[in-house]
Amino acid sequence: MKQEIKERVERIRRGEVPEGYQKTKVGIIPEDWLVSFTDDVAKRGTGHTPNKQFPSYYNGGIKWISLQDSNKLDNGLIFHTKVEISEEGLSNSSAVLHSKGSVLISRDAGVGKSAIMGNEMAVSQHFITWTCSNKLNNWYLYYYLQNRKREFERIAVGSTIKTIGMPFFKKYKIPLPPIKEQDKIAEILSTWDKAIELKEKLIEENKKLKKEAEKLLITGDVRFFSFNNEWSEMRIKDFTIQKPSMRSAGDLNETGLYPVYGASGIAGYDDTFDNDEEYVAIIKDGSGVGRVSLYKKKTSAIGTLTTIKANEKSDIGFVYLLMKNINYKKYITGNAIPHIYYKDYSKENVKMPSLEEQRKIAHFSKIFNQYIQNLEKELNQLKEQKRGLMQLLLTGIVRVEGH
């Protein structure tokens, strides 16, 4: 960041108004920017939920954004919805069609989440929409809402479901740069979004590739060039030792190479394991039955885990990959609570390579894991850089060329 910009940021942070800037109700912004009610530059709308007692009001091909679509928001464009309504449902409710490109924000559960309609859509009463005029770039508005998300979360009220009332949006003001500058800001931030999207796709593709490669390697369908000896057929119990679940607590990370499971799913992650205390942990009952993780003595464990250790015939990293690919469904017992027992699945026959080949396969998996983790770090850096850039551009601290 240029020294000039750093100094400007510091002055504004102290509440000072730099030359060429003005103090307004939406903050310190450039002198040539306006402050406008969104209603003055966009047509505000909302929606409704057609009566669910009438099946004919639904499944009619009209995209209808509801709270069930919260996971699709905050990703730019939204094209598909969980629920569709019919023309009959539209005409017999207060729902209306909003044009393609309209901006929406959730004012209830998932408050502050926003998106842009990828085609003509209706919304439930839980959303506010804006159809922008030629004075407001819809992508500029979307990014501005994204940047103010914490504000929306902070002002929402309610004991069970936090909500922002309609009056707030009737009086909502935004800083308004000249339209050409809005266009440029939106273009720059959109470029960052595309980079983030490409990185996310690269991560997902590599995760799939890793999973496929591991399956080919642990079955012997694909082998490293340096190995050509026959694999031995063994039962799982021939190369593992069952250990009691341990309860010693330890530190877990938010990210890492290996997931560590608890009763409710992943409790955290770890990267390193004690050489003499490595285990494979398998959830033996409940909704997570059959989930597998690498495990060490310093991480927390619970009684619902079966922990197994490698013996002198096997490498724990290879055992971990092998146990992840076991079909535990055929060993499930119990009606109310599904349960699997080591005594049952440990009788399954598998093919085992030499200890040296096992270690080679496990090492390959670890290196692949590290590569994916590096990609995820790069993704987080991109997201963090975009957040910082949004703050600078949407406040006018950094001006785009040709403004």
User: What average pLDDT score do residues 9-29 get?
Assistant: 91
Write down the mean pLDDT value for the chain. 89
User: What average pLDDT score do residues 345-372 get?
Assistant: 95
Q: Which segment of 111-120, 289-298, 319-328, 353-362 scores lowest on mean pLDDT?
A: 289-298
d(CA 325, CA 318): 11
Question: Which domains, from first to last, does the chain contain?
Answer: 33-176 (3.90.220.20), 179-228+353-397 (1.10.287.1120), 232-352 (3.90.220.20)
User: What average pLDDT score do residues 25-40 get?
Assistant: 96
Tell me how crowded residue 14 is: count the other CB atoms within 10 A of its CB.
7
More confident residue, 380 or 299: 380
**For residue 79, how many C-alpha atoms fall within 13 Å in the half-sphere facing its CB?**
0
Checking if the pLDDT of 154 tops 60, the result is yes
Give percent above pLDDT 70 in the chain. Answer: 89
Residue 31 is predicted with a pLDDT of 95
The pLDDT tens digits for 52-111 are: 999 999 999 999 999 999 999 999 999 999 999 999 999 999 999 999 999 999 999 899
Checking if the pLDDT of 291 tops 90, the result is no
Contacts (Cβ under 8 Å, ≥6 apart) of 336: none
Spatial contact of 97 and 89, defined as CB atoms under 8 Å apart: no
Residue 248 is predicted with a pLDDT of 40
Q: Which segment of 159-163, 218-222, 272-276, 320-324 scores lowest on mean pLDDT?
A: 272-276
CA 73, 77, 81, 86 dihedral sign is: positive
Q: Which segment of 44-48, 116-120, 294-298 scores lowest on mean pLDDT?
A: 294-298
Distance of CA 225 to the CA centre of its chain: 38
Alpha helices (H) along 108-224: 138-147, 149-155, 166-170, 179-219
Tell me how crowded residue 266 is: count the other CB atoms within 10 A of its CB.
13
User: What average pLDDT score do residues 126-148 get?
Assistant: 97
Q: Which segment of 181-185, 224-228, 241-245, 266-270 scores lowest on mean pLDDT?
A: 266-270
Give percent above pLDDT 90 in the chain. Answer: 72
Residue 276 is predicted with a pLDDT of 54
Residue 343 is predicted with a pLDDT of 93
Checking if the pLDDT of 266 tops 70, the result is no
Distance of CA 276 to the CA centre of its chain: 35
The pLDDT tens digits for 324-352 are: 999 999 999 987 888 999 999 999 999 99
Residue 403 is predicted with a pLDDT of 64
Task: Based on DSSP, count helices (H) and strands (E) in the chain, helices before strands.
Answer: 11, 20
Q: Which segment of 44-48, 137-141, 177-181, 260-264 scores lowest on mean pLDDT?
A: 260-264
Residue 250 is predicted with a pLDDT of 53
Which string of b and e fits 29-47 if b means at least 16 CB within 10 Å? bbeebeebebeebbeebbb
